[in-house]
């Protein structure tokens, strides 16, 4: 098990941030968790340590949002997500994490800019499209496999539909619970689950429910309008962070 104090100084906040994100802010801060852990260990190892913790969070999230999700095209989204996981597994060793982060960041910022141009949170709801749903869910599965960064692509598809906030978060929880479970197979195949990573995950796992519960508490106390404003704001913040990290990685 990892014992360096600096690792836990960044890993404990990362786990709590991810929990809050999964509990109520599916498009936001959770994407910062793996980069935080990667300050102390290599990025692939950070992703491997976080995955078992995410699985614990997923169980808690599924209990909190049981039965509350978008049923219309969830099967299509999951099919795209699984395709993205397969693509991510096949390209994990070759795909530049910096390129992925830069592209995701640019997409997130461009999406919010477009929504602001057409009316921001007051813009009319967009009708779901199977083609868009499959594209964005595939990208979400790919980004989730490489860096647990699938939130923004899925949000780009779901946020314009102006779903009830509980349905939006519940759909995100169900989607990533399934995708994270599927990711276990390629992570074993890629040799990312060694005893050090698994024991470290076990040590951090008890923190997972606390973040989830706090995230659920926050989500239920925000009005629909404020919730969407927060979601778009966090998407911009996360997009800028991703773009910055990606460009900095490409320049290194």
pLDDT digits (tens, 9 = 90+) for 191-230: 889 999 999 999 999 998 888 888 788 777 877 677 777 7
Residue 96, pLDDT > 90, answer no
Q: Which domain holds residue 61?
A: 5-251
Query: What's the confidence (pLDDT) of residue 209?
Result: 85
The CA-based dihedral angle spanning residues 138, 141, 143, 146, taken in that order and rounded to the nearest 10 degrees: -130
Residue 99, pLDDT > 80, answer no
Q: How many domains does the chain have?
A: 1
Residue 1 CB neighbours (<10 A): 11
pLDDT digits (tens, 9 = 90+) for 20-33: 878 775 555 677 77
pLDDT digits (tens, 9 = 90+) for 65-85: 888 887 877 889 999 999 999
Query: What's the confidence (pLDDT) of residue 193?
Result: 92
For residues 138-166, one letter each, b for 16 or more C-beta atoms within 10 angstroms of the residue's C-beta and e for the rest, the string is: bbbbbbbbbbbbbbbbbbbbbbbebbebb
């Amino acid at each position: 098990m990892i014992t360096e104090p600096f690792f836990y100084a960044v890993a404990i906040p990362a786990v709590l941030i991810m929990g809050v994100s999964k509990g109520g802010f599916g498009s936001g801060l959770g994407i910062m968790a793996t980069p935080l852990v990667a300050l102390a260990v290599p990025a692939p190892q950070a992703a491997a340590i976080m995955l078992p913790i995410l699985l614990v969070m997923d169980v808690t999230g599924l209990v909190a949002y049981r039965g509350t999700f978008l049923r219309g095209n969830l099967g299509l989204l999951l099919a795209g997500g699984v395709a993205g996981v397969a693509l991510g597994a096949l390209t994990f060793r070759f795909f530049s994490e910096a390129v992925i982060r830069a592209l995701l960041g640019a997409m997130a910022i461009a999406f919010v800019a477009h929504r602001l141009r057409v009316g921001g949170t007051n813009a009319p709801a967009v009708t779901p499209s199977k083609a868009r749903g499959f594209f964005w869910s595939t990208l979400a599965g790919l980004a989730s496999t490489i860096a647990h960064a699938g939130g923004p692509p899925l949000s780009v598809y779901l946020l314009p539909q102006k779903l009830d906030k509980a349905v939006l978060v519940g759909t995100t929880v169900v989607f990533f619970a399934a995708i994270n479970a599927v990711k276990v197979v390629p992570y074993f195949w890629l040799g990312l689950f060694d005893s050090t990573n698994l024991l470290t995950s076990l040590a951090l796992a008890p923190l997972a429910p606390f973040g989830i519960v706090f995230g659920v508490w926050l989500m239920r106390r925000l009005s629909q309008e404020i919730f969407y404003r927060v979601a778009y704001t966090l998407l911009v913040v996360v997009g800028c962070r991703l773009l910055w990290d990606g460009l900095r990685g490409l320049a290194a």
